[in-house]
Amino acid sequence: MPYRRCGKSGIQLPAISLGLWQNFGDIDQKEVFRQTLCTAFDNGITHFDLANNYGPPPGSAEQNFGAILSSDFVGHRDELLLSTKAGYTMWDGPYGDWGSRKYLMASLHQSLKRLKLDYIDIFYHHRPDPQTPLEETMGALSDIVRQGKALYVGLSNYPVDLAKKAIAILQDLRCPCLIHQPKYSMLVRNPEDGLLDVLDEEGVGMIAFSPLAQGLLTNKYLQGNIPTESRASKEHFLKSTAITPELITKLSALNEVAMQREQSLAQMAIAWLLKDERLTSVLVGARNSEQLTDSLKSLDNLSFSTVELDQIAHILATT
């Protein structure tokens, strides 16, 4: 497993990290996700990413991970870098959502109890709050570090202008922002519109989530069908209406390039992100250990020729 420096900090992250957004809740098979976590650690994945609302139900991913942490991973806490977040709806009422000091403090306390930890390594604000002053949210993050409840803080889903302001506030509070977690893939390239440059200039790391665009950048949809149990079939985060003939044509062309590289489309999509040294890590999800092992094979070929990059750029530019 190659590791990369996270901005200008002392932290190094594995090139591939494991996210527990889905597949680790109470509705999932515990022995399956237990084996996935063990496979990850055995292959050099030391960074596991959670959030208060991960499950389903919300909170169950943290609770399940906490149980495995105190059993299979007992004695390995200091070899792991663990993160969690708060910012989306977690409980009813005015104090269970967004970015107030009240919510962030209460949510972290709940997360630590579920995880059976005294502190978390990285605590993120999960999304900007348009109603709460940025100074309040960043002040809460800073105080969380000073209280020893988190070692570092990060941002997620912040647009470039707001991220720059938040990073500046944290610097003034002498609590540097360690990392930013945006959505980034071949099909969602917003971070290229200034965010990557700002983070590089400010010495902040970046970890990309949804690198496979909710499964679009896999072989699942190449035939134009909606497989049973696929994310598009559930009509939740990925709608079946997104699987258009134009998209299938684009995915098929990308798959041809991947096959020339002796990679699957998913493996190439991960490698394509990691070609940029400004990116610290790619956050993958995994339904089981086999799927995770398949993603790890992207590390076998991270280099791209000029011809390949030109081919990919041309395909992505087509509408």
C-beta of residue 88 within 8 angstroms of C-beta of residue 126: yes
Give me the numbers of helices (H) and strands (E) for the chain, helices first please.
Answer: 11, 10
Residues 6+ apart with CB under 8 A from 54: 20, 21, 22, 24, 25, 60, 61, 62
Q: Is 89 exposed, middle or buried (0-12, 13-18, 19+ CB in 10 A)?
A: exposed
Q: How far apart are CA 65 and CA 60, in angstroms?
A: 8
Per-residue pLDDT of the chain in tens (319 residues, 90 and over written 9): 999 999 999 999 999 999 999 999 999 999 999 999 999 999 999 999 999 999 999 999 999 999 999 999 999 999 999 999 999 999 999 999 999 999 999 999 999 999 999 999 999 999 999 999 999 999 999 999 999 999 999 999 999 999 999 999 999 999 999 999 999 999 999 999 999 999 999 999 999 999 999 999 999 888 766 666 665 555 556 666 778 889 999 999 999 999 999 999 999 999 999 999 999 999 999 999 999 999 999 999 999 999 999 999 999 998 6
pTM, two decimal places: 0.94
Looking at residue 58, its pLDDT comes to 97
Looking at residue 225, its pLDDT comes to 66
Q: Of the candidates 61, 131, 125, 126, which has an alpha carbon nearest to the alpha carbon of residue 94? A: 131
DSSP string, 77-135: GGG-EEEEEE-S--SSSTTSSTT-HHHHHHHHHHHHHHHT-S-EEEEEE-S--SSS-HH
Q: What digits encode the pLDDT tens for the residues 104-153?
A: 999 999 999 999 999 999 999 999 999 999 999 999 999 999 999 999 99
- Chain mean pLDDT for the chain: 95
**Which structure tokens are listed for 43?**
């292959």
Looking at residue 277, its pLDDT comes to 94
Q: Tell me which amino acid residue 297 is.
A: K
Q: Which CATH architecture has domain 3-215+273-300?
A: Alpha-Beta Barrel (3.20)
Q: Of the candidates 138, 82, 140, which has an alpha carbon nearest to the alpha carbon of residue 114? A: 82
